[in-house]
Structure formats: C-alpha cells, structure tokens
Structure 1
Amino acid sequence: MRIALNEARCSGCRTCQVICSLHNFAENNPKKAAVKIVGHFPAPGRFEIKICNQCGVCAAVCQFEAIAEKDGVYVIDREKCTGCGECIEACPSNAMVKHPAETAPIKCVACGECVTLCQRGALYDADVREVQ
C-alpha cells in the first residue's frame, strides 16, 4: 500500500493517530502514532499531515543496518536499533518520532489502518485510487 495525502480534506480529527497507536502498540496514545497532524492556525488555517513516504533515507543513514526495505516499506528492526536518532534527523519528511517509552524510533509501516478509518479521504491508498 502506498499511502497518499490530500491535506485539504483533513479536518484534524486525529482518528488516524488513535488507530495507528492502537494497531501498532495496543495503546490509545496518539503520541506513539506514526502519523502526525499539525495544525497551522490562524493562518493559513489548515492541517498538515506528516507520514513516512517510504523514501529510504532512514535506511541509508542507519550505520547499524537496523532499517531494511521489505515489499516497498522500510521497517525498523528493534533488536538492531540502538536508538541513536540519526534516522530521525535525516528524515526529509520529518515523519519519524522518538517516544520515551520506546527504544527505537516510530515510523509508518504502511499497515493502512489510518486509510481505512479516514472518513474524509485525507489519507488514501494511492495504489487503489488516483491522486485526489
């Protein structure tokens, strides 16, 4: 699945963050979500969606080879990861986060749960639907 964005459709409900943390960590903790919703108010008055686009920069900078591509998705091996944060700093999408309760950074694994629950179509599967 290739997750695509239509930020103009985002209402800021943050359902994507809740389902992401529930699916990946079994916790209702949006701070552990791999998708971030950033409000820009009062101007320009919109929400920005930050999510990994699977570019691979994180894997390229990881000196411990803890991030590898698998079927088009870059996945962190939590056993190999030292938590150094180089991947977070290098991420051009600013889509990786470090949570104090986790030893490894958090990034999108393209599970698609956010797409399934986004009622407004701000997040969608680009493999199924054309760009909005």
Structure 2
Amino acid sequence: MIIIKEKFIPVQIDQELCMKCERCVNACRQEAIYFEDGIRLVDYSKCKGCLACVQVCPRNAIEVTSVTSEKVLTIKIEHEKCNMCLRCINENGAFCPNNLYYLGKVKDKDGKEIDGIRFKFSEVDKCQGCLKCELSCPQDAIKIVKFEN
C-alpha cells in the first residue's frame, strides 16, 4: 500500500520584518526554523504547528494564514484505496464545502505518474476543518490528522 502524504503547515516568515533575533529559533522545540544564506526558513517536515515561534516574534514577522493551531493538519490520500469515483470533485460542496479537491497527477507504487485525487494546498486557508472529506469518502481513502501541541 502506498500513502502519498500531502502536508501544509501555514507558517510563513516575512523576511523584511525579520530582524534575525533568533527568538523563534530558540522557541522552536522541533528545530524546524533555521537559517540558510542569511534567510530564515521553516522545515515543514519538523514543524508540529505549535505556534511558539509566532508568539515570541517581536515584529510579527511570522504569521499563520487564517488557520488556527487547532486546524493545522495533514491530509493523507491513500491513492490505492481510491476508486476514482470523483465524489470529492463532482458534488459541488457536499463533499468539501470549498471544493478543495481536484484531479491531478500522483505517483503509483512503482513511481509511475497516474491520475489521482489531489488537495488544493494553495487554498488551504479555505479549509474549515469540518472533516466532511474524511467522513464522505466511500473508499476511506482520505485521512485527516490533526497536530497536537
């Protein structure tokens, strides 16, 4: 079974506001914030969405795009379970109130590109955290995992 994990942690750092005081680096227990060529970056594979960095930043250079810490999540789409019924795309809001799923390219277990269901992470701020997608998928192929602080 292959699980393609798509993840979004909406922490963004405004480099112009950042004064490189390192408070965010020291506050981050996951060591997710780091410097590269003088620019502060976030390693999203380490970030747990605790928002400690946001709370300690004196210049509000770190922001979370309209998603509260309770709604920061990982979306797992198990493409081998998905039978491409397209309910997540075609039900015009009944499956996902903001129509955040689309048909796109994914990789199968052999690494070959195939058509599959994708999540619009560029519009994740529209996600309400309602869990309708997970509850409505007839193949149980969509899983929502919330981060714990």
Q: TM-score range by the shorter chain?
A: 0.3 to 0.5
Instruction: Compare the two structures and name the one with the higher helix fraction.
Output: 1
Q: Which has the higher contact order (CA 8 A, sep 6+)?
A: 1
Q: Which has the larger radius of gyration?
A: 2
TM-score by length of 1: 0.38
Instruction: Compare the two structures and name the one with the higher strand fraction.
Output: 2
